[in-house]
Amino acid sequence: MDPQISEFRKILDESSNIVFFGGAGVSTESGIPDFRSSNGLYSMKLSRTVSPEEMVSHTFYMMHPEEFFEFYRGNLIYPDAKPNACHYALAELEKEGKLKAVITQNIDGLHQTAGSKMVHELHGSVLRNYCEKCNTFYGLSKIIESKDVPICDKCGGRIKPDVVLYEEALDPDVVSAAIRAIELADTLIIGGTTLIVYPAAGLIRYFRGKKLVLINKTKTSADGEADLVIRGSIGEVFEQTMSIK
C-alpha cells in the first residue's frame, strides 16, 4: 500500500474537525476544463486581443453583454457534469461528522450534488442567477435557454449569474464563514489548486490546526508548509484513501 495514502488515512482517522479547500482541479476530474482557454473568437469580434480573464470581468460584462454570455455559456457552464470520487468522499466525511466545511473556488455546485451540506462558495455558483432590477431568482436553465442576454420575465431587467467576476469583490459573509471554518479546523486539506488565485488563496493563512495536507498534480506555494504532500489525481487519492478501513 502507498505509504502516503496510509498516512492520509491515519490523519483522517485522528481528525475531528476537517476543512477542505479546493480549486479547479477538483472539477476538471468531472470533465470541466479550466476556463483559461480562448479560441480567439472574441478577439476577432472585438478586433483586439481579449484574454479569458478579461471576458469574465465586470467591465466586459457591462460593455459587451452579448459576447460575455456567449463565452460564459460555452466555457463556464457544464450542466451534464457529475461529481467525482473527491466530491463523494468529502460528502461521506461530512456525514461521518469529521468534515465540517468545504471551501471551494469552483462555481459548478458539484459538492452539493454529491451530498455536501456545508459548502462555502467563494466565487458563487452558476446554479443561481438574479435579475439586476427586481432580484427575481432564476435557475441555470434560464441562462442556457436564453439565446442572447437573458432577460427577466417579470420586469425585463438583465439576469446576472451569481458568480464573482474579475474586478468584483468576494461576498464578505462567505469569506467570514470560510475564515471561521479554517480557524477552527484541526486538519486542513488543500486540493486541486495551485494557490495562485487571490484573495481566495490567502485564506489558508488563517489555519492554526495540527495537520496540513496538500493534494495536487503540480507544486504549490504551500508545499513547504504541509505535513503531507501527495502528487496525483485528487479523485484517485480520495478513492484509495476512503477504501481503507
As annotated, the active-site residues are 123
In 3D space, the residue among 103, 102, 121, 124 whose CA is nearest the CA of residue 168 turns out to be: 124
CA distance 16 to 153: 47
Tell me the one-letter amino acid at 97.
G
Residue (of 20, 39, 181) closest to 106 by Cα position:
20
Angle formed by the axes of helices 3-14 and 234-242, nearest 10°: 70
The H or E element spanning position 229 is: strand 228-231
> CB burial class (10 A; 0-12, 13-18, 19+) of residue 154?
exposed
Angle, to 10 degrees, between the axis of helix 85-95 and the axis of helix 234-242? 40
Cell of residue 229, nine digits: 504532500
Rounded-to-integer distance, Cα 115 and Cα 189, Å: 18
Distance CA 44, CA 124 (A): 30
Q: Which amino acid is at 58?
A: H
Got the DSSP string for 187-201? EEEEES--S-STTGG
